[in-house]
Chains A and B, each alone.
Chain A
Amino acid sequence: MSNDVYVVGTDMIKFGRFPERTVPELGAQAALMALDDCGLTIQDMQALYSGNLFEASGGVGQRILREIGQTGIPVVNTANACATGATAFREGWMAIKAGVYDIVLCVGCEQMGSGLLGGAGGGKGIPTEGLLGSGTMPSVFAHVGLEHTRKYGTTFEQFAKVSVKNHHHSTLNPKAMYQKETPLEEVMGAEMISYPNTKLMCSVNVDGSAAAVLCSEKKAKELGLMGRAVKVRASALSSDPYTSRNIAMMDFNAVTRLAAKTAYEMAALGPDDVDLIELHDCFATAEIVHYENLGLCKDGDAGRMIDSGATQLGGRIPVNVSGGLLSKGHPLGATGIANIYEVTTHLRGEAGNRQVDGARIGLTHVVGAGSACAVHILEKVQ
């Protein structure tokens, strides 16, 4: 018997705005949906790994159990920027891989509010936002995009095409926050936030939750759950390795390349083997650089890649067929597990109108400011 780990149950709530609900309520809803997906109960779970950022000190995992059953199992609460949910998932994967548990529940949930994230200063002295440049997320990711422009001449229009594509994909996903086409003129003509990111090129702040049940091969066979199981071929996590501009310009590239390299090596696969990808399109500019960071094209070819349609549904390597963070929405702690749900759904052949035909291998990627990057590679079971 191998020590492989499988996703046997997973689901997410439709992302939206639920100010009247609590964070644990959102998490509990996705947890119960994931348990229902594999026909199990909280009594079957040996541990809970909970991902939430904005209430990181608030024992969210324990509060989820108060909603779904206080069985006394160990709870681990994770907070790791936009990689929070993926980190919770990975902690569960590691525990099973290590042989400590056979079956665990991983939940990510977040309530976001609205408006700009980030911004510099605010501690001692005077606020430095707008005085010493900008630390808002749209600005930070504008820098990410314009560095690509500097190196390769990538245009505003090419960045904007990412939003056109992902908003189109979301029209096929009933769980996305929005299901609305946004033509190129509309994306480029929307309010400019930080050049070249317009409002329609920024991910949507939404509330949401997603969950997954992870299981050892032995246990999955015992429970008769191999039929819809999806194998975790690789799980990689990285922090930003030193780069000389790191302090002034937050790194999302080196950190992603490091996690991707680790994941491809662990899976003994390459980018050409992957059939679909959910990557961290927190801003349209980010998706472009991650084509190269994840090895989907050569360095410098990402602008041409979006032009070619290769990353649309039906293209060579569909990216963010869920609608991505841009249109599905980005509840920070939930995002990493929502990506797992999306890829798993395709590998099971259950993605309906947006199904990537014949998908056997899928990759998920999240990267958070600070920086933290998680890459998972999932495989359809034979």
Chain B
Amino acid sequence: MSAAGAAVKPAPTTKGAVPFLVIPKEGEPYLAGSKCGKCGEVVAGSREVCGKCGARKTMQHVKLGTTGKLYNYTVVYRNFPGVPVPFISAIVDIDGGGTLKGNLLGVEPVPEKIKFDLPVNIVIRQVPQKDKDGNSYLAYFFEPRS
């Protein structure tokens, strides 16, 4: 037991890089979304009220799909110091609803090589970055689906 008032530093753990990347006690990590029971809209993340129709008490917690299509992209050549470039910042429409922004991997970061509507898998991986408390992180990425 610690002395009164002394902070107990929790042991490092693994977290999601965004709040809606859920790591359940059992089973595989997944991306969480909310589905409106009134209008059917699906969005990434947790919502109490539907942003589309304003309905309350109708939002249901859902697992977002694990496949999607490339709606849009850019190739980023200049970024803040320490961020490796170039990389593809991609907008993916998730099969079953919701849209995500993330990095597209497995495609050369050259505009001519990137095709709109490319089918992708949405994969969850551990990343090398840790926070100041030593916690590890999982993030999601897009990869071409063959």
- Which of B3-11, B39-47, B55-63 is found at the contact surface with chain A? B39-47
Residue of A nearest to B54 (CB): A242
**Which residues on the A side are within 8 Å of B130 (C-beta)?**
126
Cβ of B59 to closest chain A Cβ, rounded Å: 14
Report the Cα distance A127→B76, complex, angstroms.
16
Q: Is the CB of B99 within 8 A of A133?
A: no
**A139-B76, A194-B76, A248-B100 known; A132 and B140 CB under 8 Å?**
yes
Most interface-central of B43, B72, B83, B130 (chain A CB within 10 A): B72
Q: Is the CB of B131 within 8 A of A191?
A: no
**B-contacting residues, A96-127, CB 8 Å:** 116, 119, 125-127
Counting CB contacts under 8 A, is B123 at the interface? no
**Which residues on the A side are within 8 Å of B137 (C-beta)?**
125-126
Cβ of B43 to closest chain A Cβ, rounded Å: 6
Q: Is the CB of B74 within 8 A of A143?
A: yes
**Which residues on the A side are within 8 Å of B76 (C-beta)?**
130, 134, 136, 139, 142, 193-194
Cβ of B38 to closest chain A Cβ, rounded Å: 14
Report the Cα distance A146→B104, complex, angstroms.
16
Counting CB contacts under 8 A, is A247 at the interface? yes
Residue of B nearest to A191 (CB): B78
**Which residues on the A side are within 8 Å of B18 (C-beta)?**
128, 132
Q: Is the CB of A194 within 8 A of B17?
A: no
Chain A count of residues within 8 A CB distance of the other chain = 34
**Which residues on the A side are within 8 Å of B129 (C-beta)?**
126-127, 131
Counting CB contacts under 8 A, is A21 at the interface? no
**B-contacting residues, A12-60, CB 8 Å:** none
Counting CB contacts under 8 A, is B89 at the interface? yes
Cβ of A144 to closest chain B Cβ, rounded Å: 9
**A126-B129, A133-B101 known; A143 and B51 CB under 8 Å?**
no
Counting CB contacts under 8 A, is B144 at the interface? no
**Which residues on the B side are within 8 Å of A143 (C-beta)?**
72-74, 89, 91
**A242-B51, A247-B43, A248-B101 known; A130 and B84 CB under 8 Å?**
yes
**Which residues on the B side are within 8 Å of A128 (C-beta)?**
17-18, 139
Counting CB contacts under 8 A, is A249 at the interface? yes
Counting CB contacts under 8 A, is B145 at the interface? no
**Which residues on the A side are within 8 Å of B83 (C-beta)?**
129-130
Report the Cα distance A248→B78, complex, angstroms.
20
Q: Is the CB of A126 within 8 A of B131?
A: yes
Residue of A nearest to B132 (CB): A126
Q: Is the CB of A138 within 8 A of B78?
A: yes
Counting CB contacts under 8 A, is A265 at the interface? no
**Which residues on the B side are within 8 Å of A150 (C-beta)?**
71-72, 116
Kindly identify which residue among A136, A139, A195 contacts B111, using a CB–CB cutoff of 8 Å.
A195
Report the Cα distance A146→B84, complex, angstroms.
22
Cβ of B19 to closest chain A Cβ, rounded Å: 9
Cβ of A198 to closest chain B Cβ, rounded Å: 9
**Which residues on the A side are within 8 Å of B75 (C-beta)?**
192, 194-195
Q: Is the CB of A136 within 8 A of B79?
A: yes
Report the Cα distance A136→B74, complex, angstroms.
11
**B-contacting residues, A159-212, CB 8 Å:** 191-196
Report the Cα distance A48→B29, complex, angstroms.
53
Q: Is the CB of A192 within 8 A of B77?
A: yes
- 25 intermolecular pairs with C-beta atoms under 8 Å apart: A125-B15, A126-B137, A130-B76, A130-B79, A130-B80, A131-B129, A133-B90, A133-B102, A133-B103, A134-B79, A135-B101, A136-B79, A139-B74, A139-B76, A142-B76, A143-B72, A146-B74, A150-B116, A193-B76, A193-B77, A194-B76, A196-B74, A242-B52, A246-B51, A249-B91
Beyond A130-B79, A132-B101, 6 additional contacts (C-beta under 8 Å) are A125-B15, A128-B18, A131-B103, A192-B78, A195-B75, A245-B93
B interface list, Cβ under 8 A from A: 15, 17-18, 41, 43-45, 51-52, 71-80, 83-85, 87, 89-93, 99-103, 111, 116, 127, 129-131, 135, 137, 139-140
A interface list, Cβ under 8 A from B: 116, 119, 125-136, 138-139, 142-143, 146-147, 150, 191-196, 242, 244-249
